[in-house]
């Protein structure tokens, strides 16, 4: 089976790594890919916004399964174009991708399907927002409706901050048309967990729950990022509690879409807040999380390609239950100076050659590029360094020791990934703040 993986981040490196291990795999292409994927699979420049160009690659390379990594092409309808042309595709069509592409639509779906979530209001102006705050309360999350690369959420502690954020989104258009509508949501307290499931139109099967760390600096301070590190399994959501969360938070959405004639095939990701009243959905994504994928896939004990093919073809129910390795994984993101506001680029990365020698470490590339005989930084998040171990503490030690052997100018990372789960320990030698 020839597989085309689309994207160029750490998530796609992890997908390419896991798919390449399948006994069923033939040729693997990851396009455009990065310096990490290019070491294990072919890749070449490809504009994912150009559906005709992607289709052309599929025909030329005799591709049997297309795996779409990032949200933008899913929201733009790439999966529909490819399916119409007769290809097997892992990833939902445009109609279903609105779950991620529009926070207002996502809230409508949650409300109509009875999914537990924060109370909210969708507004188009500062005046409407001021009215909504009267009944919502003043401590709110202010969210741009459309795609904003994980950065379109402002946590406002009072009315002034909330209305300021609304003004920036709807009047100053900080995120362009993504801010035309704004969702205001009550501020929930609790631990966050990412529940990522395969959905084949009907069957919903969860992978191991994980916890991301979205803030830039140690102690969950600083701006929101795409994610600075993650670990799995998340110890607070196992067994029956996970099953219940899947039944309450994921299954109703899949059923609701099916009733509306929308067939969901790919990954459905629920970002949950575990509140004292139980799980509440903060958001849906229609793709794998990054960097969650870099800890979830190393714990998937089985043939990932077989599971993805069954998901794309609607035959997931025929597979035995997913097996999760009884181990732990942790990944720490090494980011460029200036991330998330901007990103310094072109810095030579040292120490990659020996980094994954120990067998329990996996260095996934995100923003990297080969230049002459070196690998250089080429984005905000540069690497996701994953450690595996018999316990979270062991996985953490491997991840941080491996990270310590890698260097590039301006490298920044958090030193406290997984610290809350482990009772507050911080790795030494970082510069997280």
- Which of 32, 137, 150, 222 forms a contact with ligand GLY (CB under 6 A)? 150
Tokens standing for 319?
């597979």
- Mark residue 165 as left, alpha or beta (left: phi above 0; alpha: psi -120 to 50; beta: remaining): alpha
Distances (CA, A) of 378 to 26, 150, 224, 335, 344: 29, 19, 20, 10, 8
Residues 176-215 that bind ligand GLY (CB under 6 A): 212
76 with 50: CB under 8 angstroms?
no
- Which of 102, 210, 285, 360 forms a contact with ligand GLY (CB under 6 A)? 285
Indicate whether 187 belongs to the interface with ligand AMP (CB under 6 A): yes
Tokens standing for 147?
């795609």
292 alpha-carbon distance from chain centroid = 6
Which of ligand AMP, ligand GLY, none interacts with 229 (beta carbon under 5 to 8 A by kind)? none
Indicate whether 80 belongs to the interface with ligand GLY (CB under 6 A): no
- Which of 128, 138, 164, 192 forms a contact with ligand AMP (CB under 6 A)? 192
**In angstroms, rounded to a whole number, what is the distance separating the alpha carbons of residues 271 and 72?**
18
- Which of 74, 195, 282, 355 forms a contact with ligand AMP (CB under 6 A)? 282
- Which of 7, 227, 256, 380 forms a contact with ligand GLY (CB under 6 A)? 227
Which of ligand GLY, ligand AMP, none interacts with 292 (beta carbon under 5 to 8 A by kind)? ligand GLY
Q: Which is nearer to ligand GLY, 154 or 310 (CB)?
A: 154
- Which of 98, 214, 287, 347 forms a contact with ligand AMP (CB under 6 A)? 214
Backbone angles phi, psi at 101, to 5 degrees: -75, -20
Cβ of residue 254: shortest distance to ligand GLY, in angstroms? 19
115 with 252: CB under 8 angstroms?
yes
Which of ligand GLY, ligand AMP, none interacts with 143 (beta carbon under 5 to 8 A by kind)? ligand AMP
Indicate whether 188 belongs to the interface with ligand AMP (CB under 6 A): yes
Cβ of residue 154: shortest distance to ligand AMP, in angstroms? 9
- Which of 69, 179, 229, 289 forms a contact with ligand GLY (CB under 6 A)? 289
Per residue, what are the HEC states of 241-294? HHHHHHHHHCHHHHHHHHHCCCCCEEEEEEEEEEECCEEEEEEEECCCCCCCHH
433 with 221: CB under 8 angstroms?
yes
Indicate whether 369 belongs to the interface with ligand GLY (CB under 6 A): no
Q: Which is nearer to ligand AMP, 80 or 100 (CB)?
A: 100
Cβ of residue 285: shortest distance to ligand GLY, in angstroms? 5
Distances (CA, A) of 211 to 191, 196, 235: 9, 11, 9
Task: Give the interface segment with ligand AMP, choosing from 49-57, 162-170, 182-190, 399-407 (CB under 6 A).
Answer: 182-190
Residues 233-272 that bind ligand AMP (CB under 6 A): 271
Cβ of residue 150: shortest distance to ligand AMP, in angstroms? 6
**How many other β-carbons are positioned within 10 Å of the β-carbon of residue 133?**
21
Give me the helix-helix angle, 103-113 and 251-259, nearest 10°. 100
Question: Which element (helix H / strand E) includes 36?
Answer: none
Interface positions with ligand GLY (CB under 6 A):
150, 212, 226-227, 285, 289-290, 292
Interface positions with ligand AMP (CB under 6 A):
118, 141, 143, 153, 155, 185, 187-188, 192, 214, 224, 271, 282-283
């Amino acid at each position: 089976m020839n597989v085309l993986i689309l994207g160029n981040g750490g998530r796609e490196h992890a997908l390419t790594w896991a798919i390449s291990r399948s006994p069923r795999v033939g040729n693997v292409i990851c396009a455009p890919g990065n310096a990490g994927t290019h070491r294990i699979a072919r890749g070449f420049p490809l504009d994912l916004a150009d559906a005709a160009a992607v289709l052309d690659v599929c025909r030329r390379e005799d591709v049997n399964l297309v795996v779409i990594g990032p949200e933008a092409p899913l929201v733009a309808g790439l999966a529909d174009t490819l399916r119409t042309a007769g290809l097997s595709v892992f990833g939902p069509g445009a109609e279903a991708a609105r779950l991620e592409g529009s926070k207002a639509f996502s809230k409508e779906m949650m409300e109509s399907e009875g999914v537990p979530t924060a109370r909210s209001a969708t507004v188009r102006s500062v005046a409407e927002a001021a009215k909504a705050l009267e009944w919502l309360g003043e401590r709110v999350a202010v969210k741009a409706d459309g795609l904003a690369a994980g950065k379109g959420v402002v946590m406002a502690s009072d009315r002034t901050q909330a209305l300021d954020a609304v003004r920036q989104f709807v009047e100053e258009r900080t995120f362009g048309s993504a801010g035309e509508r704004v969702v205001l949501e009550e501020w929930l307290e609790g631990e966050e967990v990412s529940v990522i499931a395969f959905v084949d139109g009907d069957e919903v099967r969860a992978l191991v729950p994980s916890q991301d760390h979205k803030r830039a600096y140690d102690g969950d301070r600083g701006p929101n990022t795409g994610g600075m590190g993650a670990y799995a399994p998340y110890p607070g959501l196992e067994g029956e509690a996970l099953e219940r969360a899947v039944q309450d938070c994921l299954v109703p959405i899949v059923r609701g879409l099916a009733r509306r004639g929308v067939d969901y095939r790919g990954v459905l990701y629920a970002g949950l807040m575990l509140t004292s009243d139980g799980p509440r959905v903060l958001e849906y994504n229609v793709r794998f999380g990054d960097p969650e994928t870099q800890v979830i896939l190393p714990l998937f004990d089985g043939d990932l390609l077989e599971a993805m093919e069954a998901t794309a073809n609607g035959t997931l129910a025929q597979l035995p239950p997913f097996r999760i390795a009884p181990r732990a994984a942790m990944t720490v993101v090494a980011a460029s100076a200036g991330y998330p506001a901007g990103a310094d680029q072109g810095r030579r990365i040292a120490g990659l050659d020996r980094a994954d020698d120990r067998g329990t470490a996996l260095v996934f590339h995100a923003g990297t590029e080969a230049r002459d005989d070196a690998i250089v930084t080429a984005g905000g998040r540069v690497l996701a360094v994953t450690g595996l171990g018999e316990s979270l503490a062991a996985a953490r030690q491997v991840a941080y020791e491996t990270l310590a052997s890698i260097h590039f100018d301006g490298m920044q990372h958090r030193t406290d990934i997984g610290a809350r789960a482990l009772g507050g320990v911080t790795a030494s030698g970082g510069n997280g703040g």
